[in-house]
């Protein structure tokens, strides 16, 4: 467990989350192979200051696949806030806002650390602003009843997390 997750950091989510919140549209952790954990997918953490919940956004190295999807969405809707592209450790990655979901700090298993220098992985400031803006926009649209933007049942997960949070905080 990560003691004090930082907004804008990258994390891995514990298997406990997936058992506590079963949803066929969540991107599950990759299975261990030969006793070795894959630590995938990795998630970018956005902190919702209104609720205190983190919204985690999976990143993918399948840039070409998601570039085509993002282009189709942009052509159809004039923009695409659900898939963004930025560099992680110098490599272009797809940030899948369409697959994001809320979590509390207890579900962060570990932080993504650059093995070369031992420093937590981050994105540059300009791209971080873009991620926050798109994430806020998509969360607001989902809260206003817009369906189809995010695949998991994020409102159901959020409701359960907030109920649990209120129980523990009272």
pLDDT, tens digit, for every residue of 106-150?
999 999 999 999 999 999 999 999 999 999 999 999 999 999 999
Question: Which one has a higher pLDDT value, 35 or 113?
Answer: 113
pLDDT at 40: 67
pLDDT at residue 21 above 90?
A: yes
- Bridge-based pairing of strands 101-103 and 54-60 is antiparallel
Q: Of 63, 50, 51, 125, nearest to 94 (Cα)? A: 63
Determine the 3-state secondary structure of 12 from DSSP.
Answer: strand
- This prediction has a pTM of 0.91
Helix (H, G, I), strand (E, B) or coil at 58: strand
Q: What is the pLDDT of residue 31?
A: 61
Q: Cα separation of 53 and 140, whole Å? A: 14
Contact between residue 155 and residue 142 where contact means Cβ atoms under 8 Å apart = yes
Q: How confident is residue 168, by pLDDT bands cut at 50, 70 and 90?
A: low
């Amino acid at each position: 467990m990560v003691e004090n997750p930082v907004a804008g950091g990258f994390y891995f989510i514990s298997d406990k989350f997936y058992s506590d919140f079963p949803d066929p549209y969540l991107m599950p952790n990759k299975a261990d192979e030969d006793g070795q954990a894959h630590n995938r997918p990795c998630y970018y953490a956005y902190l919702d200051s209104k609720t205190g919940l983190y919204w985690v956004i999976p990143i993918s190295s399948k840039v070409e696949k998601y570039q085509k999807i993002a282009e189709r969405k942009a052509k159809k809707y004039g923009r695409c806030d659900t898939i963004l592209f930025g560099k992680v450790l110098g490599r272009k990655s797809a940030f899948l806002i369409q697959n994001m979901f809320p979590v509390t700090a207890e579900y962060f298993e570990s932080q993504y650390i650059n093995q070369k220098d031992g420093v937590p992985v981050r994105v540059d400031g300009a791209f971080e602003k873009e991620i926050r803006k798109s994430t806020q926009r998509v969360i607001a649209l989902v809260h206003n009843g817009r369906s189809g933007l995010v695949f998991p049942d994020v409102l159901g997960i959020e409701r359960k997390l907030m109920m649990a949070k209120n129980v523990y905080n009272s």
